[in-house]
Amino acid sequence: MSDSIGFLSVKRHAEHGYFGGYLIVNPLARPLEFHCTMPVRPTRAQELLYGSTLDDFLCGEQIAAAMVGKAKLKPEWLFTDCRAVLALTGAVAGHVLYVDLPAESTTGAAWMPPAGKLPSRTLTVESYRFEVLPECRITENELAERLQGLAPYFDLAEPFQRITEALLEAHPIARAA
């Protein structure tokens, strides 16, 4: 079992585009590494060609893949609050899990959640609902074991709140609604 856990978020701002943040923490929720992107705006050609799969492409295959590729640490477990990041699954060796969190826990007024179109299967552990791509072979028991290895006060929503705040700090233009 890896000693690090990844939390990756991609937010969409209506005016400025997509922003990505990737926080890697230890089991006590202490930061080990952080990466963020500059705003990414799709071209008109991308919007036309990718259609309803644009968010999967931009969030998973472009933004998330770039941040994961730059990271020195390669966590076995990567949680995301952006369903479109599941498109990253085939590009990493570890597990990519979408955590279905209340929108207000990770999204500020200026952010809109990107939509993911890929088919998924659902896992429920404790009070959390997760989604993974069908090819991900993780079971609810394996996920429950991993969550039990975290500090008792570890809240899966909290690292995403830190990422959102760090993105706003790094990109003050995103504060404008």
d(Cα 1, Cα 142) in Å, to the nearest integer?
11
Choose the weakest-confidence range: 10-19, 41-50, 66-75, 101-110: 101-110
Q: What is the mean pLDDT of residues 107-117?
A: 68
d(Cα 55, Cα 73) in Å, to the nearest integer?
26
Mean of the per-residue pLDDT values for the chain? 87
DSSP state of 40: B
C-beta separation of 122 from 129 below 8 A: yes
Per-residue pLDDT band for 108 (boundaries 50, 70, 90) equals low
Residue 115 has pLDDT above 60, yes or no: yes
Per-residue pLDDT band for 110 (boundaries 50, 70, 90) equals low
pLDDT at res. 106: 47
CA-CA-CA-CA dihedral for 34, 155, 141, 94, to nearest 10: -10
**Which CATH number fits the domain that encloses residue 43?**
3.30.2170
Per-residue pLDDT band for 21 (boundaries 50, 70, 90) equals very high
Q: How many domains does the chain have?
A: 1
Choose among 91, 102, 86: nearest CA to 156.
102
Per-residue pLDDT band for 151 (boundaries 50, 70, 90) equals confident
Phi-psi category of 141—alpha, beta or left, where left has phi over 0 and alpha has psi -120 to 50? alpha
C-beta separation of 59 from 114 below 8 A: yes
Q: Which of 83-87, 150-154, 165-169 reaches the highest mean pLDDT? A: 83-87
What six digits make up the tokens of 71?
């990271």
Backbone torsions φ then ψ of 113, nearest 5 degrees = -75, 130
Per-residue pLDDT band for 177 (boundaries 50, 70, 90) equals very low
- For residue 65, the enclosing domain spans 5-175
Which amino acid, residue 170? A
Q: What angle do CA 114, 3, 170 make, to 5 degrees?
A: 40
d(Cα 19, Cα 116) in Å, to the nearest integer?
16
C-beta separation of 98 from 132 below 8 A: yes
Global pTM? 0.89
What six digits make up the tokens of 17?
């585009």
